[in-house]
Every structure is written in structure tokens, then in C-alpha cells.
Amino acid sequence: MAVCSFDGNTDMYGLGIRIGFYLQWFSSILSSSLAPSEVEGLRYSNSFFIAATFLALLILSIQDVSSLQVVEVYIILLLTFGFFLFMVPLYFWRILTKSNPKYDPTRWPRVEISSTYSVIQFLLLVAVASYQLWFWFARVSELDRQDCEEFGFFFTRVRLNAKWFQILNIVFHFLLLLFCFIMLSIRVLVDWFKILKREETTSVR
């Protein structure tokens, strides 16, 4: 079976846009050591860059779902999701160490993360992961009806519509969304108990 051939959409994932993403990622990593005062601004600019790209993808999908090839959407999602991938080994490590703060590599952050930035990142993560679920369920299955093949990457070249690859991505993003929901629920419960405790303390006085 032949490999699919088409004209790429340079407005969505052209060389300049890809370089922009890569520079954002590396500058966010290096700035915490080289220029801590710039970290906050870089974090927000990276979030807005991701949000703008994802919003453009969402609009194109709503207007005409076939305007982008499946592999094009895959590339764009890699760019929008790439910044979050550092969390995967981080949380696996935390599970292995039973969340022991002694072994947590983030226990001494050079620059604290603001609550506003945390909320923006959380919302972006949930939005992109939700879209990923739809993509791997619905869009990738369209490749079964094509006469050519489109490929992704998992330490080697893999057909995007290979069933094990689809299932792996669906399970991964489902677990990620479940984890986000659990963390949000815990946060809400903790804040709720704090409010109740504060009210009890006030009433006793």
C-alpha cells in the first residue's frame, strides 16, 4: 500500500511554527537557570502559543473536518501536547517513589508556578487531551477506508491506524483525563474542608 501524498498546511505546522514551538520549549527549560526573571513571561507566552494553535485546529475541525489530513492533525497535536509530555515520566516517578518529597525532582523549583498559570495549563491540558480522545476514536479510523497509509512515531515508524497504536493512545489520554478529574476533585474537597473548618472556628469564637 502506498504512502499518502498531499500538500501540507504551512499555516498550521510550517517550519517557522515548528521552530517557534521548539524555541519556546527549550527557552522555558533553560530560563529557570539562566534568566529566572523571564520565566513567568515565557510560561504565559508558551501557553498562549499552544492555545492559539489548538483553537485554530478546533475551528478547522468544526468548519470542515476533512480540511486537514489525519497525519496533519497528528503533527499539530504533537506540537500542542509536547510541552505537557514532561509530566508523564514525572508522575510515573512519583508513583514509583510513593510521592516521597525527598525524591521529587520538583521539590525545589527555581521559579514558583503562579496559581493563574496553573489554571491555564490545567484547562489547556484537559482541552487538548479531550480532543486527542476524539481524534484517536473518530478521525484515525477514517484511514481504514483509504488506499494509502499515514504514519506516526512510537520509537519507530508506526501506521496511525494500527489498532494497538490507537488503543495505546486512547488509554493514555483517558487515564490522563481521569487523573486530571481526580486531582481536581481532591483540590475541591480540600478547599471545601478548609472553608468548613474556618467556619467552625469562626462560630466557636
Per-residue pLDDT tens for 47-71?
888 888 889 889 988 888 878 888 8
Separation between Cα atoms, residue 177 and residue 193, nearest integer Å = 24
Spell out the residues 6+ positions from residue 119 whose beta carbon is closer than 8 angstroms to its own.
none
Work out the burial of residue 140: count CB atoms within 10 Å of its CB; fewer than 13 is exposed, 13-18 middle, 19 or more buried: buried
DSSP states along 132-166: HHHIIIIIGGGGGG-SEE-EEESSSEEETT-HHHH
What pLDDT, on a 0 to 100 scale, did the predictor assign at position 66? Answer: 79
**Ranges of the chain with pLDDT below 50:** none
Please report where in the chains the cell 513571561 appears, as a residue: 41
Q: What is the pLDDT of residue 164?
A: 92
**Domain interval for residue 38:** 2-204
Predicted local distance difference test score (pLDDT) of residue 138: 87
- Position 94 scores a pLDDT of 67
Counts of helices then strands in the chain (DSSP H, E): 7, 4
What pLDDT is recorded for position 205? Answer: 58
Kindly report the backbone phi and psi dihedral angles of residue 166, in degrees, each rounded to the nearest multiple of 5, phi listed first: -60, -50
Neighbour tally for 167: CB within 10 Å: 11
Q: How many CB atoms lie within 10 A of CB 168?
A: 14
Cell numbers at 9, concatenated: 498546511
Number of domains in the chain: 1
Per-residue pLDDT at 189: 82
